[in-house]
A and B are shown apart, each in its own frame.
Chain A
């Protein structure tokens, strides 16, 4: 299996622009998680899905952030409009119904100038 796939790996954008991050979970996994990592706040869970349904979005910082999972093999995290404080590494992870282990993607490093 190719593992969790994220794109793009790096994104540089200007403040006010829309940013879309993409994730393809491991085939057969039914749970998908979006995390954000910063020096100041460490690793934070933003939102997670079970069977394509959002279960807990309490970590989404504000209305500028939205996430979708239209099918079992694809999810997006959108920031509109982006701000410099959104600069971080965003990770996607997935897990199977038989295991508590979460498998992480390589991350997307977002820089908002």
Chain B
């Protein structure tokens, strides 16, 4: 069965430090992968997506992710975080139009 695992439920980092949010997936077929961000009391917003092509995907707000088929991973990275990046981040894959989400990673930025 297709599934997504986010290995960290919470990630605290200091402002201007780099961050990596981990995501692993399980799928028997080719996958399309997504990272969504949810700011407090808001809906989800797409950060970036991998459909095909280059395995390094750049998204909004300085985020990027790398698709690694051999490791079945799609980790999200940012070289320098800001207070405004405090949010919950969801990795997801799409299966027959349905988004299958990981459990989310709460990113907290300390000044």
Contacts and interface: CB of A to CB of B under 8 A. Distances in A.
B110 to A, nearest CB: 23
B: interface residue count bin: 20 to 34
Contacts of B44: 91, 93, 104
B99 A45 contact: yes
20 contacts: A42-B101, A42-B102, A43-B99, A43-B104, A50-B97, A55-B97, A56-B96, A56-B98, A91-B44, A100-B32, A101-B34, A101-B46, A101-B49, A103-B46, A104-B36, A104-B43, A104-B44, A106-B42, A107-B42, A107-B43
Interface string B61-99: 000000000000000000000000000001000101111
B56 to A, nearest CB: 19
Contact of B98 (A48, A91, A103, A107): A48
Interface of B: 32, 34, 36, 42-46, 49, 51, 90, 94, 96-99, 101-104
A105 B49 CA distance: 19
A102 interface: yes
Interface of A: 4, 31, 33, 42-43, 45, 48, 50, 55-56, 91, 93, 95, 100-107
B17 to A, nearest CB: 27
Q: Looking at chain B's contact residues, is the secondary structure mostly helix, strand, loop, or mixed?
A: strand
Contact of B101 (A43, A55, A100, A105): A43
Contacts of B32: 100
Contacts of A31: 97
Contacts of A42: 101-104
Contacts of A4: 43
Given A43-B90, A100-B34, 15 more contacts: A31-B97, A42-B103, A42-B104, A45-B98, A56-B96, A56-B98, A91-B43, A100-B49, A101-B34, A101-B49, A102-B46, A103-B46, A104-B43, A105-B43, A107-B42
